[in-house]
Amino acid sequence: MDQDQNAPLREDVRLLGEELGAVLREQAGEQLFDTVETIRQAAVESRSHGEMQGGRLRELLDPLDDPTLLEVARAFSQFLNLANLAEQRHRERLRRHHQRFPGDPDTDRGLRQVLAELKKANVSQDKVREVLQDLSVELVLTAHPTEVTRRTLIRKYDQMADLLAELDRPDLNDEEAENLRRHLREQILSAWSTDEIRRERPTPVDEAKWGFATIEQSLWHAVPQGMREIESELKLAGLPDLPSDWVPIRFASWMGGDRDGNPNVTHKVTRQVLTLARWMAADLYLRDVENLLADLSMHRASDELLARTGPSTEPYRLLLRAVRDRLRNTRALMEARVNGSAEPEGDIYSSGSELYEELSLIDRSLREVGLAAIAEGQLKDTLRRLNCFGITLLRLDIRQESTRHADAVDAITRYLDLGSYADWGEKVKQKFLLAELESRRPLVDKAFFDSEFCTPEVREVLETCRVIAEQGPEGLGAYVISMARTSSDVLAVMLLQKIAGVSEPMRVVPLFETLDDLDNAFDTMSALLEIPFYRERVREGQEVMIGYSDSAKDAGFLGAAWAQFRAQESLTGIFREHNIPLTLFHGRGGSISRGGSPTRMSLLSQPPGSVAGRIRVTEQGEMIRFKYGRPSVAAYNLEQYVAATLEATLLPPAEPRPEWRAQMDQLTDVSVRAYREVVQDDPALVSYLRTVTPETELSRLALGSRPARRKPGGGVETLRAIPWVFAWTQMRLMLPAWLGTGAALENGLAHAPDTLRAMSDQWPFFQTVVDMLEMVLAKSDPRVASWYEERLTDDPELQRLGKELRSRLSRTVDALGQLTGRESLLDNNPVMRWSIRVRDPYTDPLHLLQAELMDRLRHREEDPELESALMVTIAGIAAGMRNTG
Q: Which CATH number goes with the domain that contains 355?
A: 1.20.1440.90
Specify the pLDDT at position 588: 75
Residue 547 or 662, more confident:
662
Specify the pLDDT at position 721: 62
Query: Does the structure show a pLDDT above 80 at 96?
Result: no
Q: For residue 261, what are the contacts with CB-CB under 8 A and spacing of at least 6?
A: 401, 706, 707, 710, 720
Cα 133 from Cα 649, distance rounded (Å): 13
Specify the pLDDT at position 830: 76
Q: Structural domain of residue 807, as residue ranges? A: 660-828
Nearest 5°: phi and psi at 425? -75, 170
Judge if 164 and 76 occupy the same domain.
Answer: yes
Judge if 449 and 475 occupy the same domain.
Answer: yes
Number of domains in the chain: 4
Choose the final residue of a domain: 650, 672, 707. Answer: 650
Judge if 734 and 872 occupy the same domain.
Answer: no
Query: Does the structure show a pLDDT above 50 at 463?
Result: yes
Give the tens place of pLDDT for each residue, 482-541: 999 999 999 999 999 999 999 999 999 999 988 999 999 999 999 999 999 999 999 999
| Domain presence at residue 456 | yes
Which H/E stretch holds residue 139? strand 136-142
E strands, 163-290, in order = 249-253
Residues 24-48, mean pLDDT to the nearest whole number: 88
Judge if 123 and 246 occupy the same domain.
Answer: yes
Residues 645-673, mean pLDDT to the nearest whole number: 96
Half-sphere exposure of 487 (CA within 13 A, CB side): 23
| Domain presence at residue 569 | yes
> Is 731 within 8 Å of 694 (Cβ atoms)?
yes
Q: How far apart, in Å, are the Cα atoms of 721 and each of 171, 427, 516, 552?
A: 49, 33, 17, 8
Whole-number percent of the chain with pLDDT over 70 = 92
| Domain presence at residue 101 | yes
Query: Does the structure show a pLDDT above 80 at 52?
Result: no
Choose the final residue of a domain: 369, 389, 409. Answer: 389
| Domain presence at residue 655 | no
Judge if 252 and 301 occupy the same domain.
Answer: no
DSSP at 225:
H
Judge if 20 and 162 occupy the same domain.
Answer: yes
Query: Does the structure show a pLDDT above 90 at 430?
Result: yes
Specify the pLDDT at position 297: 96
Query: Does the structure show a pLDDT above 90 at 587?
Result: no
Cα 800 from Cα 804, distance rounded (Å): 6
Give 155's pLDDT tier (boundaries 50, 70, 90).
confident
Query: Does the structure show a pLDDT above 90 at 797?
Result: yes
Judge if 475 and 618 occupy the same domain.
Answer: yes
Judge if 142 and 156 occupy the same domain.
Answer: no
Is the Cα torsion angle 279, 281, 284, 289 positive or negative in sign? negative
Judge if 27 and 119 occupy the same domain.
Answer: no
Query: Does the structure show a pLDDT above 50 at 106?
Result: no
Among residues 685, 739, 642, 547, the alpha carbon closest in space to that of 131 is found at 642
Query: Does the structure show a pLDDT above 80 at 234?
Result: yes
Query: Does the structure show a pLDDT above 90 at 432?
Result: yes
Specify the pLDDT at position 710: 53
| Domain presence at residue 120 | yes
Give 4's pLDDT tier (boundaries 50, 70, 90).
low
Which range (293-307, 380-394, 632-646, 815-829) has the least confidence?
815-829
Judge if 600 and 459 occupy the same domain.
Answer: yes
In this structure, the dihedral spanned by the alpha carbons of residues 870, 876, 878 and 880, taken in order and rounded to 10 degrees, is -140
Mean residue pLDDT across the chain: 89
> Is 649 within 8 Å of 131 (Cβ atoms)?
yes
| Domain presence at residue 713 | yes
Give the tens place of pLDDT for each residue, 332-368: 999 999 999 999 999 999 999 999 999 999 999 999 9
Whole-number percent of the chain with pLDDT over 90 = 67
Question: Which residues are the active-site residues?
Answer: 144, 553
Judge if 557 and 684 occupy the same domain.
Answer: no
Q: How far apart, in Å, are the Cα atoms of 228 and each of 98, 110, 225, 627, 639?
A: 16, 14, 5, 19, 10
Residues 316-335, mean pLDDT to the nearest whole number: 98
Choose the final residue of a domain: 828, 853, 877. Answer: 828
Give 703's pLDDT tier (boundaries 50, 70, 90).
low
Judge if 531 and 586 occupy the same domain.
Answer: yes
DSSP at 503:
S
Task: Specify the pTM.
Answer: 0.90
Which H/E stretch holds residue 41? helix 30-48
